[in-house]
């Protein structure tokens, strides 16, 4: 992926970042459901 200064690509980068954040949260929730460990919910804040 090329880093560009145009509005369109910065908007796309922001959208990708949001999507990635969503996937990471979902993954962490699954990990927590599968493996309940003390202090893991600190990661979800």
The band of 22, judged by pLDDT with boundaries at 50, 70 and 90, is very high
- H-only helix segments in the chain: 7-34
Whole-number mean pLDDT of the chain? 74
pLDDT in tens, 9-21: 788 888 899 999 9
**Integer Rg of the chain from CA:** 15
Q: CA 43, CA 20: separation in Å to the nearest integer?
A: 15
In this model, does residue 39 exceed pLDDT 90? no
Comparing 43 with 28, the larger pLDDT belongs to 28
Q: CA 28, CA 4: separation in Å to the nearest integer?
A: 31
Comparing 2 with 29, the larger pLDDT belongs to 29
pLDDT score of 23: 92
Nearest to 31 by CA among 16, 20, 44: 44
Q: Residue 20 CA to chain centroid, in angstroms?
A: 4
């Amino acid at each position: 992926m090329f880093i560009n200064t145009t509005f369109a690509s910065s908007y796309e980068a922001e959208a990708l970042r949001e999507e990635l954040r969503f996937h990471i949260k979902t993954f962490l929730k699954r990990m927590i459901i599968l493996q309940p460990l003390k202090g893991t919910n600190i990661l979800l804040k």
